[in-house]
Chains A and B, each alone.
Chain A
């Protein structure tokens, strides 16, 4: 055999080997895109949620992956900005060709992205969005968080029974965030149904620094209870101002308030804040004990926020759907596999969540247990 012939044969063999390995690597990775804020005001949710997603992928892979294939999560930072969010979404869909998405954090971003994911045929599960009717009419839109119009009535009912002296409420909410507007509106609408007079409804815009005038306006009529619908940072600052102006009673919140940041920033002012949430880190179930132990080891975080838990469950449910749909991750089949995952997800029933089983209802909203928690002695505690 001549030298040139030998070298040509070596090159051909090497090329074939590379193509085979590359093909194998592509088929090996099943990608889920994460649309979570890593910077900006929402990063206090997004950063730990990313950790939870990465931990969930590790748990799946440590158990053998999905039908032998590795699960990979790819994060796009939406910088808490709608334009960046849409750019990131398109990049995950078109360039990375992910098979499903987890995120975004806010209902507003979710509404913006929903038509795009519907057109692309892939599923998007938000672990945190809570506005009602968010997923209606869009087969690609899922939410692993019950609607606030289910959560708030249960909280009001509890307050009515345990605090019969409450007769009036003042509502303060962030007029910039969709979920907070919805929650504020729900308190305003539902409070009279438990016999409370709505004394005032005061709005503000998140990111402002001066809360003293809106709080003064809210406390003018000396309400028995104040409801604050805002994300953690703003809610904490409102709570601090409420206490500074002499308000000592209960604060009712919404699920966007629940974060360790609310307590970190609010300090003692956050005590006696009540919220209904779909997860509590102290819940005594086997799944939760296993999750908390492993997650603490993975991240060093000893107290898990509901959003981290919801993200972990969301990745788990997508992994189950991928398993049942027998996806391969073949880029040539991405459209068909996205649709298959969507069908399996919509049929999710009895998925073992961290504090109870999860089903998706016909609007693709998670039906799952909820728990009322309050801030006491600097931590969130179940009643």
Chain B
């Protein structure tokens, strides 16, 4: 494979990996936008979705069933996280306390998954529908990778449409802006908030199934590095910006893959995060965030 072909191959792989990260990141930014809290259990919710999908695939279920199972299981878990770990906290509680509460939930989910499925890595079957490869120009792609990219893009567009063009989206934005004002307008934030968690978690759950297929295996502890990268993408892209989270995720995916391709695998995470730190030093508000003004 010549240099250009190899570069294009790795670029494609990076974009695909970033697409999977993007699904986690936009869910994170959605929750932040509405509640002002970073849900650090998002990575572990992804893991739960991945394992729900794995159970279905191992029993011969098709791709659609696996994705539905992953998304549904994760959505349910997300609602439980909101109800049990966040809602009981006082409204005046510092956002950092809420964030720490989600860390506790993450640890619990991790331990439960490792007890139920064991702490080891599990092979992730590729559905027969997605077996095979195709050449796009000089570059060869697995069908599974193309599917990951296409589904991730579709879900991101669907979410953007939901938020920007539907009544439900208006309600979500209203609650994000001001829960009190939204309540006065007749919007029930007690329904909107769990719904946002459900949507955000469902995206993570679907991402879990996609990541499982991309990596070819899953493990109970894979949520940590993925969650961290998604968080980095949220910050790098600009807090609260769905488009920013998506773009940043893809940039992180590309940085990671290119580091492995041209430097060494052991540097993959260090280089990706170093790029983020450098970019934030230049633009502290993130790629698509507002410029930060110092409070005096």
Contacts and interface: CB of A to CB of B under 8 A. Distances in A.
Contacts of B260: 213-214, 217
B257 interface: yes
Contacts of B10: 213, 216
Contacts of B215: 209-212
B17 A205 contact: no
B117 interface: no
B161 interface: no
Contact of A237 (B6, B142, B217): B217
Contact of A241 (B119, B121, B216, B265): B216
B133 interface: yes
Nearest to A210: B215
Contacts, number: 73
Interface in B216-239: 216-219, 221-222
B120 interface: yes
A214 B142 CA distance: 16
B133 to A, nearest CB: 7
A207 B222 CA distance: 9
A267 B256 CA distance: 29
Interface in B90-122: 119-121
A196 interface: no
A164 interface: no
B13 interface: yes
A265 B123 contact: yes
Contact of B222 (A209, A213, A214): A209
A209 B120 contact: no
A172 to B, nearest CB: 9
Given A203-B264, A204-B266, A237 B216 contact: yes
Given A213-B13, A217-B261, A246-B133, A205 B216 contact: no
B123 to A, nearest CB: 6
A183 B10 CA distance: 28
Nearest to A44: B120
Contacts of B142: 244
B119 A39 contact: yes
B160 interface: no
B13 A175 contact: no
Contact of B13 (A39, A216, A241): A216
Contacts of A241: 216
Contacts of A265: 121, 123, 217
Contacts of A39: 119
B188 interface: no
A222 B140 CA distance: 14
A143 interface: no
Interface residues of A, number: 31
A203 B266 contact: yes
A281 interface: no
A362 interface: no
Nearest to B17: A210
Nearest to A217: B261
A220 interface: yes
Interface in A193-232: 202-205, 207-214, 216-217, 220-222
B1 A220 contact: yes
B157 to A, nearest CB: 26
B214 interface: yes
Contacts of A41: 119-120
Contact of B261 (A203, A208, A213): A213
A228 to B, nearest CB: 14
Which of B17, B217, B222, B266 lies at the interface centre, i.e. has the most chain A CB atoms within 10 A of its CB? B217
Contact of B120 (A208, A214, A222, A233): A233
B120 A213 contact: no
B266 A216 contact: no
A205 to B, nearest CB: 6
A202 B259 CA distance: 12
Contacts of A237: 121, 123, 216-217
Interface string A17-57: 00000000000000000000001110010000000000000
B288 to A, nearest CB: 27
B104 to A, nearest CB: 23
A240 B216 contact: yes
A211 B17 CA distance: 12
A42 to B, nearest CB: 11
Interface string B132-148: 01000000001000000
A221 B6 CA distance: 10
A44 B123 CA distance: 16
A44, A217, A240, most chain B CB atoms within 10 A: A217
Nearest to B131: A244
A216 B133 CA distance: 14
A241 B126 CA distance: 12
A204 B123 CA distance: 18
B119 A209 contact: no
Contacts of A233: 120-121
B238 to A, nearest CB: 26
Nearest to B122: A265
B265 A203 contact: yes
B267 to A, nearest CB: 10
- Among A204, A209, A240, A267, chain B packs the most CB atoms within 10 A around the CB of A209
Given A210-B214, A213-B260, A217-B260, 4 more contacts: A207-B221, A213-B256, A216-B9, A246-B133
Sorted from nearest, which 4 A-B pairs have the closest CB atoms? A213-B260, A209-B215, A204-B265, A213-B257
23 contacts: A41-B119, A44-B120, A175-B265, A203-B264, A203-B266, A204-B265, A205-B266, A207-B121, A209-B219, A210-B17, A211-B216, A212-B216, A213-B13, A213-B257, A213-B260, A214-B265, A216-B261, A236-B123, A237-B123, A240-B123, A241-B216, A246-B133, A265-B123
Interface of A: 39-41, 44, 175, 202-205, 207-214, 216-217, 220-222, 233, 236-237, 240-241, 244, 246, 265, 267
